[in-house]
Amino acid sequence: MSRRGAAGARLRIDGILLLDKPAGASSNQVLQKVRRLLGADKAGHTGALDPLATGLLPLCFGEATKIAGLLLGSDKAYRVEARLGQTTDTDDADGRVLVERPVPELDAARLVPHLEALCGRIRQRPPAYSALKRDGVPAYRRARAGQTVELAPREVVVHGIRLLEVDAARLVLEVECGSGTYVRSLIRDLGEALGCGAHVTALRRLWVEPFRHPRMWTLDALEGMDVEHRRRCLLPLEAGLRHLPALAVDAPAAQRLRQGQRLRWPAATTGEYILWLEGRAIGRARVDEAGVLRPERLFADGQMEMGEGDGKGAEGQADP
């Protein structure tokens, strides 16, 4: 554990906190607030939620920041409310209304074919107000400056869209999708297919693989705890890894891998693996076509024991 200063010192804190992000704040704003509440020296999030959005935002601290990219690439699910009949410049309710059109009479029978057309492997144009960069500049900065932003369509995967409610100009949907999918774009494209336009009015992230039934912590709850209680809300980094392909190694092999050595591992299929030693994840490695195990990113020895208390919650054992 590394310390910095005395009073208000930031410590090496390792683990994952499943935050219930509030509306109105950016993902980085809430990350920095939780970092201060924990007194952590290293932190990162696993893919931004829009300020309008709420719900699951896994925050990684210490050694867990090394797996943030894996969680960023995971499948996700959202509950989304949409307003039909209005198109906005941001594709959500935070934007300026550009066009208003009449809304046709809709029911499940008419809506379901349009929802099915947005499922599977599709081409999607990201919103102009997004963090995607063009020539090194985030698209939202160009849009705020009044520049015309047209981002190239990208291939994304939508596993399913379920209609929950339809009431005049209001829709409620549940969306399961792969990494990189913009729900705002799905709603925009649905509105255009219906001929009336649409935008997101509320968005909540329900889960991120592997946290299918997460016990989330609100900022208010964290602020009401002392710092030691907050740290017990953390899950160990292993909780974010048990769904991924694994290789068990013994102590001698682990030592050689930590020294940067490659090992013959012909029994394993080509691909990337999480390395496990006696129930602890020690890092990421890849087996190449020649059957050689190559260390890619290893975790530091002696992770702090986090996630022992309340952090186990509904997701406590991190089902594989």
- For the chain, 320 residues long, give each residue's pLDDT as a single digit of tens: 333 433 456 788 999 999 999 999 999 999 999 999 999 989 998 888 989 999 999 999 999 999 998 888 899 999 999 999 999 999 999 999 999 999 999 999 999 999 999 999 999 988 876 666 666 666 667 667 666 767 788 999 999 999 999 998 999 999 999 999 999 999 999 999 999 999 999 999 999 999 999 999 999 999 999 999 999 999 999 999 988 999 999 999 999 999 999 999 988 899 999 999 999 999 999 999 999 999 999 998 754 444 433 333 333 222 22
Domain map of the chain by residue range? 15-74+210-236, 76-208, 240-298
**76-208 homologous superfamily:** Pseudouridine synthase (3.30.2350.10)
Can you give the pLDDT at residue 307? 42
Please state which CATH number belongs to domain 15-74+210-236.
Answer: 3.30.2350.10
Among candidates 172, 228, 220, which has minimal Cα distance to 200?
172
From the candidates 50, 91, 92, 189, give the one annotated as an active-site residue. Answer: 50
- Angle at the Cα of 210 (from 207 to 211), degrees rounded to 5? 45
Q: How many Cα neighbours within 13 Å face the side chain of 72? A: 13
Pairing of strands 154-167, 198-208: unpaired
Torsion of CA 252, 254, 260, 262, to 10 degrees: 80
Burial degree of 23 (CB within 10 A; 0-12, 13-18, 19+):
middle
Q: What is the pLDDT of residue 160?
A: 98
Q: At CB < 8 A and 24+ separation, what contacts does 98-103 make?
A: 99/197, 100/197, 101/195, 101/196, 101/197, 102/196, 103/168, 103/169, 103/194, 103/196
Is 50 marked active-site? yes
Type of residue found at 28: N
Q: Do domains 15-74+210-236 and 76-208 have the same CATH topology?
A: yes
Kindly state the tokens that stand for 269.
């299929």
CATH value of 240-298 in 3.30.1330.60, 2.30.130.10, 3.40.50.2300, 3.40.190.10: 2.30.130.10
